[in-house]
Amino acid sequence: MMLSLSWLDGLITGSMEKQHLLLPAWWELTATITLMVLILSWYHKDSNTRQFRRTPWLTMAILGVAIFGIPYYLIRSRPAGKKWRALGGLTVFTGLFFSVSFIGEAMARWLL
């Protein structure tokens, strides 16, 4: 779902830039809120699966400062020996997320 949103955002961004238009504020707000809901859904499901106690501060860190909050959560919630694997998976997913967005942008520019 997150990768689909990333691709769609890239597609819309690319098409707007190709036409020399600014992204509509409604789209930026919608995409941001949707991404936040998806991240919170993952966090809720993952923490329940691992029986990890969520705190309001960690939830705010995951939403507000995801670049620090998500790795911190992964380190705290994974058993010894699996922390680096979780961080590696996050790194791969983040690269994939941005790559899919870039592909969407390139497709929009090529198609228009």
The structural domains of the chain, with segments of one domain joined by +, span: 2-111
Q: What is the C-alpha separation between 98 and 7, in angstroms, rounded? A: 9
Q: What is the C-alpha separation between 23 and 39, in angstroms, rounded? A: 23
Question: Is the pTM above the cut of 0.95?
Answer: no
Residue pLDDT, tens place only, 49-83: 999 999 999 999 999 999 999 999 999 999 999 99
Per-residue model confidence (pLDDT) at position 112: 82
Q: What is the C-alpha separation between 27 and 103, in angstroms, rounded? A: 19
Cα dihedral: 76, 82, 85, 86 (round 10): -30
